[in-house]
Amino acid sequence: MLDDLRDLYQEVVFDHNRNPRNFRPMEDADRIIEGHNPLCGDRITLYLKLDGDRIADVSFQGQGCAISTASASLMTEIVKGKTLAEAEKLFDVFHKIVTGQDDDLKREELGKLAVLAGVRQYPSRIKCATLPWHSLEAAIKGEQEAVSTE
């Protein structure tokens, strides 16, 4: 079973890296935040379009490793249509997953996010996976300053 999860993790990362979803600039974004991972060199620009307290649209651009790009792609798919509070809760869940603090979470309730638990097997890559999510958290809070994983 562990091999199946590892294979699924690799397959999803490969797919979302090669064909990232929502990879585009957004002309009419309400919030734009820059993110950078100095250790790996990942750079992201995250765009949010809000409808009240709901994320009407989300996209990203940038350059990064496969894990960073796949994480951003999955994140944009998952948070689109969510309220800001729901997106913040997903950030907390994601952080628990990749840092191995998810004992109280039920995997079947996590959907696609469960696949990203595989990144915990590569501790040096956790910052790659969390960069888009930290950028999302900053955008939700309306922060203006660029996000760094360091």
Please report the pLDDT score of residue 69 as a whole number: 95
Residue 23: CATH number of its domain: 3.90.1010.10
Considering the domain boundaries, does residue 131 fall inside one? Answer: yes
Please report the pLDDT score of residue 99 as a whole number: 86
User: Phi, psi at residue 92, to the nearest 5°?
Assistant: -60, -45
- For residues 58 and 22, give the distance between their C-alpha atoms in angstroms, rounded to a whole number: 7
- For residues 48 and 29, give the distance between their C-alpha atoms in angstroms, rounded to a whole number: 5
Domain that holds residue 114: 2-145
Under the phi-then-psi rule, with left for phi > 0, alpha for psi from -120 to 50, and beta for the rest, what region is 52?
left
pLDDT in tens, 50-64: 999 999 999 999 999
Residue 93 has pLDDT above 90, yes or no: no
Considering the domain boundaries, does residue 29 fall inside one? Answer: yes
Mean pLDDT of 115-131: 87
Considering the domain boundaries, does residue 15 fall inside one? Answer: yes
- Confidence class for position 1, pLDDT limits 50, 70, 90: very low
Considering the domain boundaries, does residue 61 fall inside one? Answer: yes
Considering the domain boundaries, does residue 25 fall inside one? Answer: yes
Considering the domain boundaries, does residue 114 fall inside one? Answer: yes
Residues 6+ apart with CB under 8 A from 108: 114
Considering the domain boundaries, does residue 90 fall inside one? Answer: yes
**Of 121, 75, 117, whose CA–CA distance to 97 is shortest?**
117
pLDDT in tens, 9-37: 788 888 999 999 999 999 999 999 999 99
**pTM here?**
0.91
For the chain, percent of residues with pLDDT exceeding 70: 89
The more confidently predicted of residues 98 and 87 is: 87
Work out how many domains the chain is built from and give that number.
Answer: 1
Considering the domain boundaries, does residue 130 fall inside one? Answer: yes
- For residues 80 and 58, give the distance between their C-alpha atoms in angstroms, rounded to a whole number: 6
Indicate the average pLDDT of the chain.
89
- For residues 150 and 27, give the distance between their C-alpha atoms in angstroms, rounded to a whole number: 29
Residue 84 has pLDDT above 70, yes or no: yes
For the chain, percent of residues with pLDDT exceeding 90: 65
User: Tokens 């990232």 belong to which residue?
Assistant: 20
